Amino acid sequence: MKVNNILKKVVLGTCAVLMLGSCNDFLTIYPTDKTVGKDFWKKKEDVDQMVTGAYSAMTSYNVIERSIVWGAFRSDELVKRTSLSNTTMDNVLAMNLLPTNSYNSWSSFYNVINRCNIVLNHAEGVMAEDPEFTQGDYETVRGQMLALRSLCYFYLVRAFRDVPYTTQSYEDDDQQMQVAQMCPDSVLNYCIQDLKEAETKVMRSGAYGSSNWRNQGYFTRDAVYALLADIYLWKASMNHSQEDYENCVVYADKLINSKDEYHRNNAYGSVGGADKDIYHLVDGRIAFSSIFGSNNSSESILEWQFDGDRNSNTALENYYDMSGSSSNHDASGMVEASQIFNSVNDDANQLSGTKVYASKNDLRFWNNVYLANSSEALQLEIRKYVDKTGSNISSPEGRNVGLEKSSNNFDNYQRNWIVYRLTDVMLMKAEAQVQLAASDSDAVLRQAFDLVQVVNKRSMTTNAKDTLTYSDFNSKASMEELVLAERERELCFEGKRWFDLVRYAYRHMDGVNSRQKMADVSSWPSLPRAFTRAIIRKYDTGGDAVAYKMKSEPFLYWPILRSEVHVNRLLKQNPVYSDNQTSSKN
């Protein structure tokens, strides 16, 4: 059989590197007829070009779009802009996840996976052809491709659960490419195995030199630590595994210690904190501009690189800032922040709360959306990532409303997409520590609180009196909700929230079997009501209907694109979704 839809575009795409990059040597265009042919793989430059192509593919519109839609749009954070006509997004909001929905396409991630597989299968042989390509060069390349491939599989597992897994490269249209799905436990175990090898091979963080974009644009040791912590946290939540929570803490600590060591050895940038501080977070008064107004901040771990010249982050622009094309675009993005960001409320640290922020002294309340403190607004335009000036609101005292939107130029959109940053991993560690607590009096809860407090206090005004107090969160349940709330305050609109909520759901579900594929069983564990209530707080109307549809574990995931199932007969559709293009099964 000819190549199926899963990877046919991947094969063709491999033969033409995307015209993307972040600086002079990030992009190299190579001949479309020599990418994988016999005349290729002769020189070090050939390997470098293919590695660049793999990273460049992660900056594609489809990858960034899915990072937003899969990771944030399904959560309580985002709603479709009211004036936008888009039936596909309407269906997602209504929980009508049809098998024909274009967001179900996973081809952009399998594109990257295949690029990684091609490099992994060919790069070693180049050492015999070119003495300039050394064993050390090969080891670094291998580590990066193993890590990048693992990240792609992790996205796919979180979006679809049961996914095809392959390490074979597809380079010929005549290759047999029928690949069956694998259960998430197996896929993630393969990823962990690869990442532990990558940990020993990739460059030490900062080794590319001061202010070199590769320190954040390529997989370094810190990025591997962050990804391992994230995967272990997902596995732990799904399987209720104390061992995996412990491993999450181990790799989070490796990341934190590595960042601390680099700071002390290099005095990297203008950061706050005394000598005893091991986190060295950017001062809260300039954090917004440092992290989101420019690229590759001192807190950054991994970012997809955009320079606005050879590549432009059009997906981020379309969704958060301006939608359309250069010649015909709207002044607003396709999505906006939901009503939970419009004002503050004391219930913000509870999953059942109505708002994200508890205090107007929290600088993030003012900085992350436009016209903050508009209590009647049902949606607000997003400021994080896309504000033209990236300026900080550092003194909100006396302010009644947040900043108005400042217009960007449509072309040359050069904001990076942040995959991991330090506070994300700090809060992963806190989340794992809470689950490791044996009782409400376990000292590890205080350790988790202290981590949350570091992140939270950084963003509070200097003289704020309403900072977090441990006595208000002295139980395991309240600490779990505090960590979840702080992650939303800190990481909103960064493609994290849906996955955070799914982890919460798994921790409160019984009967989950990650070693079994969903299609192989006839009943599935029910979703906790607290999870569905959190999801629907973004809706002005229709939320109860959405909650009613979200009954069991398979509803956490997208259906497989219909065309993929029809071409690859080994694939089994997510069992709760009908294939009649009208509705999902209830």
Compute the mean pLDDT over every residue in the chain, rounded to the nearest whole number.
91
| DSSP-derived secondary structure letter, 210 | T
> What's the pLDDT score for residue 37?
65
- What does the block give as tokens for 316? 């981020």
Encode pLDDT of 186-198 as tens digits. Answer: 999 999 999 999 9
- Cβ atoms of 305 and 66 closer than 8 Å: no
Residue written as token pair 């080994």: 570
Q: Is residue 553 pLDDT above 70, yes or no?
A: yes
Q: What is the pLDDT of residue 211?
A: 87
Phi/psi-derived region of residue 322, left when phi > 0, alpha when psi is between -120 and 50, beta in every other case: beta
The pLDDT confidence band at residue 490, using thresholds 50, 70 and 90, is: very high
Q: Which residues contact 526 (CB under 8 A, 6 or more apart)?
A: 509, 551, 552
Q: Is the pLDDT score of 583 beyond 50?
A: no
122: pLDDT strictly greater than 90: yes
Tell me the per-residue pLDDT of 408-439, one tens digit each, with 9 for 90 and over: 777 778 999 999 999 999 999 999 999 999 99
C-alpha torsion sign, points 109, 112, 118, 123: negative
What's the predicted TM-score (pTM) here? 0.93
Digit-coded pLDDT (tens) for 105-116: 999 999 999 999
Tell me the per-residue pLDDT of 366-376, one tens digit each, with 9 for 90 and over. Answer: 999 999 999 99
Look at 21-30, 254-263, 304-313 and tell me which has the smallest mean pLDDT.
Answer: 21-30
| DSSP track, 59-121 | TSHHHHHHHHIIIIITTTSEEE-TT---HHHHHHHTT---TT-GGG--HHHHHHHHHHHHHHH
- Above 50 in pLDDT, residue 6? no
Whether residue 20 has pLDDT greater than 80: no
Alpha helices in 412-496 (DSSP H): 422-436, 443-458, 476-491
Whether pLDDT at 174 is above 70: yes
pLDDT in tens, 201-239: 999 999 998 889 999 999 999 999 999 999 999 999 999
CA 147 to chain centre: 15
Q: Which tens digit of pLDDT belongs to each residue from 309-365?
A: 889 999 999 999 988 777 677 788 999 999 999 999 999 999 999 999 999 999 999
Residue 396: predicted pLDDT: 86
Which of 348, 418, 430 is CA-nearest to residue 384?
Answer: 418
Residue 7 — pLDDT band, cuts 50, 70, 90? Answer: very low
pLDDT exceeding 90 applies to what percent of the chain? Answer: 80
Structure-block tokens of residue 541: 């109307």
